[in-house]
Amino acid sequence: MQIVVIGGGAAGYFAAIHARCTDPAHDVLLLERTRKPLAKVRISGGGRCNVTHSCWDIRRLAENYPRGERFLRNAFGRFAVADTVAWFKENGVLLKTGPDGRMFPTTDRSETIVQALQNAAQRAGVKIHIGEPVEELQVARTFEVRTPYRSLLADRVIIATGGSPKPEGFDWLTRSGIAVVPPVPSLFTLNMPGDPIVALKGVTVDPVRLVLAGTRIEATGPLLITHWGFSGPAALRLSAWGARTMHEMGYDATVRVDWTGGRTVRAVHEVLERAHGPSPDKELHNRPVFGLPSRLWSHLLERAGVRPDKRCGDLGKHDRHRITEVLINDRRSMRGKTTFKEEFVTAGGVDLKDIDPQTMMSRTFPGLHFAGEVLDIDGITGGFNFQAAWTTGAIAGHAVVRP
């Protein structure tokens, strides 16, 4: 049986390896469009490769996917984080866990992961053609895969071509009758041009709660102020959960910031009274609350209309109300977005309604399987997108030879 894997990224390699290892009797050919397979693996995590996340409970793991949570709960029952860690260990790569749960190779080099995948593919006997893009896929009893150089016949096909920033990137799939959810960007930072807060670039606050005004979309976590606006886990999570809504808004929206991380009005009042009551002669800017950096605290006081050099003893009830309002409901204007480093992720892709999570096979076209970000699956930052690639790749690779 001839199996063709389209796409030489993490999911494609993992699928091809698992197909050959499950049943070496079948030929597996991997086609990669560029001359640099595993390019995203090489640059991910700042060159360290955030392989997965230390989340061992399947239900909790699936909760980190704005698109695909229910689908992945089923899939993670077949291949999850423990399986990823075990596979890499078997292939000579030990992983370590950071304080935030992200898992990296102990070498801190993404090249370690690249070499492990390439070596495993070579040992398994996967044939790899680079610089050979697929232009057309004819779906019938057998599959015809057309590239600029040849026309290949395949008994089974795994598509692992990754996400696309534009709908046209999926045209070759839709021409074959494959249902695709239009893609929109996910995992981006929030631009706030003209906002005076950008003068505080480099300041980090943890935790911060962000809410997309007018919706129920929110995220909590560390926030990094940059020279263009907001970044860090809280902003990236908000962009992931709000990807489609923000796209519909044209990335022109109001973001409500709770600098306390989710405390009530009453709790904030009590903290202000405890912090400032015993020190009547001290100036407010010297008495920050909630662990806020002093520069940010002074900025928020000014935003509340309270002079930072005002004495704590002169702080009136009205002042406290205004400070509280800014601390828990600071409204900032988002005007545009910026891709976060190399973490280009899209929401959208092959419609999960047509995919069996037990096999990653199309319900419409038997023998056609999918893996990775080509599916309408995307996770928040922290190794979750790679975990989805390993999971869907392993399942597709196994099922393609054991239907």
Mean pLDDT over 26-41 rounds to 97
For residues 396 and 371, is the Cβ–Cβ distance under 8 A?
A: yes
For residues 9 and 387, is the Cβ–Cβ distance under 8 A?
A: no
Query: In this structure, how many other beta carbons lie within 10 angstroms of the beta carbon of residue 194?
Result: 7
pLDDT in tens, 69-95: 999 999 999 999 999 999 999 999 999
pLDDT in tens, 252-297: 999 999 999 999 999 999 999 888 888 888 999 999 999 999 999 9
State residue 45's pLDDT score.
87
The structure tokens listed for 355 are: 């995919």
Mean pLDDT over 32-54 rounds to 96
Mean pLDDT over 96-106 rounds to 97
For residues 210 and 257, is the Cβ–Cβ distance under 8 A?
A: yes
pLDDT in tens, 188-208: 999 999 999 999 999 999 999
Which of 64-68, 82-86, 278-282, 386-390 has the lowest average pLDDT? Answer: 278-282
- In this structure, is the dihedral angle defined by the CA atoms of residues 246, 53, 76 and 3, taken in order, positive or negative? positive
For residues 364 and 80, is the Cβ–Cβ distance under 8 A?
A: no
Residues 6 or more apart whose CB falls under 8 angstroms from that of 266 comprise none
φ, ψ at 208 (rounded to 5°): -130, 140
Domain boundary assignment for the chain: 2-185+342-401, 187-260+332-339, 265-314
Q: Which amino acid is at 293?
A: P
pLDDT in tens, 346-375: 899 999 999 999 999 999 999 999 999 999
State residue 277's pLDDT score.
80
The structure tokens listed for 58 are: 């399947």
Provide the H-helix boundaries in 63-158: 69-76, 81-90, 110-124
Helices (H) and strands (E) in the chain, counts: 13, 22
Residue appearing with tokens 């997108």: 385
345 — pLDDT class (breaks 50, 70, 90): confident
- The whole-chain average pLDDT of the chain stands at 96
CATH topology for 187-260+332-339? Elongation Factor Tu (Ef-tu); domain 3 (2.40.30)
133 — pLDDT class (breaks 50, 70, 90): very high
Distance between CA atoms of 17 and 24, rounded to whole angstroms? 10
The architecture (CATH level 2) of 2-185+342-401 comes to 3-Layer(bba) Sandwich (3.50)
Chain CA centroid to CA 310, Å: 44
Q: Exposed, middle or buried by CB within 10 Å (0-12, 13-18, 19+), for 70?
A: exposed
| Packing angle, helices 39-47 and 110-124, rounded to 10 | 150
Residues 6 or more apart whose CB falls under 8 angstroms from that of 248 comprise none
Angle, CA of 261, 222 and 279, to the nearest 5°: 55
